[in-house]
């Protein structure tokens, strides 16, 4: 028997447009000049862009100029050589074909595929020949193909994109979304390989039971081994996080399973609660001492529960996660695909983006249902950095069909996704869809008193998907949708389940200062828009269009309603309510980012302060919409598509710190909150200072406050009555006097006051900035070439200088801007 070989088929591909479906004569008639070099994994858009045949779809309004690409049929061909003896099994493995694809090898039709999320493995031994072989993939235009299916099964209601997308098992955001372009890409978006084998490992699963208190774990491992015959053995081995073998067992390959009892188990924790040790499970198929096949998984040992119990003194029940017996507030964000051309997202980029979430003190990301089941690098980064993953299945904002063919395709998709991802320690929850119950309710297809059969997609979310999860991953939670409310209630119910709180920005367009009014047991979506960084914005705007009201600026804001794009109008309302805004694009970038940052500060603080005590977990988590962007756009993202963090990222980082504080001005005083996300009780000294706008200090007081682990406490503090506007600054300090957290509350709105008279002094000492002022400064935002600061977008008060560290050597000059202060460039060395 020969050992398996897995050969990448990624080099040497070519792409050509096909007027009709490929046949031998059609291909022979294509001139060599019609074929372009192409990369796999890749897309037609990516190949055409690399060849200079289309302009950058992200620049200006080029999105419309490249629409034709998605309307054409594209053939991909590869010539590859076969040398030597063939293995008993020769297969071509297609990990992802987007979407309507037919494959041929040496003129023989192999299959037709219509689901980009279902890998294909096909036996090609009868078709391979010595020497040169030709593989051909033909991708039909996605929208036209989806419309053919829609013509059979009927139009359905949806939010975002063309209604035909509901019949296409393709990344739904490709059809256009309220933050993304319409780029109907096609192509082999994941690897293509030749797999030669006598025996292979088809499936490897490890289930664990963890005794947290005893630091013990029982592991059950199993593998399915096609081709296993008499005499072949399967060797299982477990390596600890340091790479030492801690368990091993060799069994017959045709009954490959083992059970281990592990002492001194190292537990995996979400970030902030402990470390993320990862064990490695290795399996080898042996013929004597020779390894015929090998596979491995990295796993973490932990328990995870979704806790839904009564909330003290309130209606409904909690919705919060508990890991290894420890309650945690799930503070994080929603994740969308990080590019419209998925092949451009490298493992390094995944690690960078997940690292930015971790650096913002996030412990959960929700993979949203209109994108893709992400690359392995994303989940590995989450495993390593302690980021829990709420994983949607790929359904979003629509009334999906439930005919037999569609259900069969969805079942194959779900089985592939669950098998691939179930071993990850980060995986916290499988979720059926995004907002499909909401749209069904809006159409009278679901909700209190509505017969269940009216919403036929329940067959997917309440039967098919939970069946797949129960069979293949019974240890991971399943939740039917986001948002979802158990029982006969609407998905907007704030007392049970999870909720999307869009009364701010969407719906009533409430002031962001009222986020406390739209809290829920778990707020899985909320957000506020802003422009991307000025540098990124200007890089995609023609020079003559670089002003706030330009057509291209509006083009790069996809937010809208059934009446059409209206994101620019909503932004204008929030700006007008809060700030005086200058006339330049730079002014508007700062102003929109200011409003977003303030909204996020208010939201995360108001949600997190309701975490309270055990038995009173009124809000169990908050996931902002959204962490990232797929192109340069005005959106709800905290990080723009260049990877540049916005001011809101810093606001979120502070609000989700292990220890965080919040202060609110109210009649006769201030309300103070201290949030402790750690595993130990803490005692802090709170310092509350009150300033007039001219810099006079009106109050300076200190008080001691104890805060139990994993809880929040609040207190009201009386203050003298003041008729003029004031600023309150609350700081928390440890026993050694070190500052642990800080927050400020202002008499709002900011547009009523002149703050530009403050003197701001900035000096540098090595890699540290010293900042001071003589009167209050709001929203000080520092930028510079490569500047990476430990804190930014700060409120600066008179008194001792504020120290901010730089992660790299400081540049010679930097820029700063603040409310009512024009952009200023200064030399610091």
- Catalytic residue annotation: 435
Query: Can you read off the two tokens belonging to residue 694?
Result: 């001219």
Q: How far apart are CA 230 and CA 731, in angstroms?
A: 71
Q: Tell me the C-alpha to C-alpha distance, in Å, between residue 266 and each of 57, 215, 225, 451, 476.
A: 48, 7, 30, 49, 20
Q: Is 817 left (phi over 0), alpha (psi -120 to 50) or beta?
A: beta
CA distances from 180 to 115, 442, 532, 744 (A): 21, 24, 13, 35
What's the per-residue H, E or C state across 103-142?
Answer: EEECCEEEEEECECCCCEEEECCCCCCCEEEEEEEEECCH
With tokens 């103070």, the residue in question is: 672
Could you give the CA distance from residue 687 to residue 702 in angstroms, rounded to a whole number? Answer: 4
Q: What are phi and psi of 659, to 5 degrees?
A: -120, 130
| DSSP secondary structure of 64-112 | HHTGGGGGSEEEEEEEEEE-SPPPSEEEEEES--BSSEEEEETTEEEEE
**Closest C-alpha to 727, from 708, 704, 750, 744:** 744
**Cα–Cα distance measured from residue 25 to residue 156, given in angstroms and rounded to the nearest whole number:** 40
Handedness of CA 512, 515, 518, 520 (dihedral sign): positive
Residue 149: CA count within 13 A, CB half-sphere:
21
Q: Which residues are within 8 A (CB) of 653 and not within 5 positions of it... i.e. 6 or more apart?
A: 359, 360, 361
Whether 383 contacts 377, CB under 8 Å: no
Cβ atoms of residues 256 and 278 within 8 Å = no
Give 809-827 as a 3 state SS string.
CCCCEEEEEECCEEEEEEE
Containing 623, the helix (H) or strand (E) segment is strand 621-624
CA distance 121 to 794: 54
What's the distance, Cα to Cα, between the start and end of the chain in Å? Answer: 69
Q: How far apart are CA 396 and CA 159, in angstroms?
A: 9
- Report d(CA 307, CA 493) in Å as an integer: 17
Nearest to 89 by CA among 202, 175, 184, 4: 4
Q: Provide the token pair at 450.
A: 């509505």
Which secondary-structure segment (H or E) carries 648?
Answer: helix 647-655
Residues in the chain: 829
Query: What's the token pair of residue 304?
Result: 């995870």
Residue 530 pairs with which residues in a beta bridge? 635
DSSP string, 269-303: --TTTS----EEEEEEEEETTEEEEEEEEEE-B--
Q: Which of 368, 614, 593, 391 is nearest to 500 (CA)?
A: 368
CB 133 within 8 A of CB 107: no
DSSP run (H or E) holding 551:
helix 551-555
Phi, psi of 399 (to 5 degrees): -100, 95
Cis preceding-peptide flag for 41 (omega within 30 of 0):
yes
| Chain center to CA of 384 | 16
d(CA 9, CA 195): 10
């Amino acid at each position: 028997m020969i050992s398996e070989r897995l050969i990448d088929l990624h080099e040497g591909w070519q792409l050509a447009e096909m007027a009709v479906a490929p046949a031998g004569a059609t291909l022979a008639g294509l001139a060599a000049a019609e074929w372009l070099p192409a990369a796999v994994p890749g897309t037609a858009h990516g190949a055409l862009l690399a060849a200079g045949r289309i302009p950058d779809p992200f620049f200006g309004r080029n999105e419309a100029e490249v629409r034709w690409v998605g309307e054409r049929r594209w053939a991909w061909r590869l010539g590859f050589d076969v040398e030597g003896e063939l293995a008993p099994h020769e297969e071509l493995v297609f990990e992802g074909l987007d979407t309507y694809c037919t494959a041929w090898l040496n003129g023989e039709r192999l299959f037709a595929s219509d689901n980009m999320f279902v890998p294909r493995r096909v036996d090609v031994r009868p078709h391979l020949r010595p020497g040169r072989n030709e593989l051909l993939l033909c991708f039909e235009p996605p929208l036209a193909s989806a419309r053919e299916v829609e013509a059979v099964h009927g139009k359905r209601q949806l939010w975002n994109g063309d209604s035909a997308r509901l019949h296409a098992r393709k990344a739904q955001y490709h059809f256009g979304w309220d933050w993304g372009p319409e780029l109907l890409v096609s192509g082999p978006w994941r690897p293509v390989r030749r797999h030669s084998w006598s025996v292979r490992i088809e499936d490897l699963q490890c289930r664990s039971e963890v005794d947290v208190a005893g630091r013990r774990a029982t592991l059950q491992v199993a593998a399915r081994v096609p081709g296993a015959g008499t005499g072949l053995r399967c060797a299982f081995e477990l390596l600890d996080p340091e790479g030492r073998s801690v368990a091993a067992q060799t069994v017959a390959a045709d009954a490959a399973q083992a059970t281990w009892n592990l002492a001194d188990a190292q537990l995996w924790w979400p970030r902030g609660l402990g470390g993320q040790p990862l064990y490695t499970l290795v399996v080898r198929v042996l013929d004597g001492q020779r390894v015929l096949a090998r596979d491995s998984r990295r796993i973490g040992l932990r328990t995870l529960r979704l806790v839904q119990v009564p909330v003290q003194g309130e209606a409904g029940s909690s919705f919060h996660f508990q890991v290894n017996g420890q309650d945690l507030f799930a503070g994080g964000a929603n994740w969308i695909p990080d590019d419209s051309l998925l092949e451009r997202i490298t493992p390094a980029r995944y690690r960078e983006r997940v690292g930015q979430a971790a650096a913002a003190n996030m412990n959960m990301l929700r993979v949203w249902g209109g994108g893709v089941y992400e690359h392995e690098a994303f989940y590995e980064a989450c495993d390593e950095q302690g980021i829990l993953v709420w994983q949607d299945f790929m359904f979003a904002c629509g009334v999906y069909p439930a005919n037999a063919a569609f259900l069969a395709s969805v079942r194959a998709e779900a089985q592939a996704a669950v098998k691939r991802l179930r071993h990850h320690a980060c995986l916290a929850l499988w979720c059926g869809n995004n907002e499909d119950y909401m749209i069904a309710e809006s159409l009278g297809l679901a909700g209190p008193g509505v017969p269940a059969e009216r919403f036929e997609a329940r067959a997917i979310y309440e039967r098919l998907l939970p069946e797949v999860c129960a069979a293949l991953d019974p240890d991971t939670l399943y939740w039917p949708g986001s948002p979802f409310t158990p029982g006969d209630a609407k998905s907007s119910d704030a007392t049970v389940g999870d909720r999307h709180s869009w009364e701010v920005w969407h719906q009533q367009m409430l002031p962001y200062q009222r986020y406390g009014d739209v809290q829920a047991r778990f707020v899985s979506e909320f957000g506020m828009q802003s422009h991307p960084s000025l540098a990124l914005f200007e890089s995609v705007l023609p020079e003559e269009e670089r002003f706030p009201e330009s057509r291209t600026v509006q083009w790069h804001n996809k937010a809208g309603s059934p009446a059409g794009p209206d994101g620019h109008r909503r932004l204008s309302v929030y700006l007008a309510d809060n700030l005086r805004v200058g006339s330049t694009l730079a002014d508007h970038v700062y102003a929109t980012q200011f409003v977003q940052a303030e909204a996020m500060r208010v939201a995360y603080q108001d949600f997190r302060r309701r975490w309270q005590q055990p038995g009173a977990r009124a809000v169990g988590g908050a996931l902002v919409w959204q962490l990232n962007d797929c192109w340069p756009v005005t959106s709800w993202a905290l990080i723009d598509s260049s990877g540049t963090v916005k001011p809101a990222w810093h606001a979120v980082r502070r609000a989700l710190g292990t220890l965080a504080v919040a202060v609110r001005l109210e009649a006769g005083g201030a309300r103070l909150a201290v949030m402790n996300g750690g595993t130990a009780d803490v005692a802090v000294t709170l310092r509350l200072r009150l300033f007039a706008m001219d810099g006079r200090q009106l109050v300076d007081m200190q008080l001691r406050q104890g805060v139990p682990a994993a809880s929040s406490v609040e207190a009201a503090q009386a203050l003298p009555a003041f008729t003029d506007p004031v600023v309150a600054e609350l700081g928390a300090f440890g026993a050694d006097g070190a500052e642990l957290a800080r927050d400020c509350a202002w008499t709002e709105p900011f547009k009523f006051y002149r703050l530009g008279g403050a003197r701001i002094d900035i000096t540098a000492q090595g890699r540290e900035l010293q900042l001071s002022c003589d009167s209050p400064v709001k929203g000080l935002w520092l930028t510079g070439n490569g500047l990476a600061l430990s804190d930014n977008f700060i409120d600066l008060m008179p008194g001792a200088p504020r120290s901010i560290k730089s992660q790299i050597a400081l540049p010679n000059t930097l820029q700063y801007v603040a409310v009512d202060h024009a952009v200023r460039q200064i030399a610091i060395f």
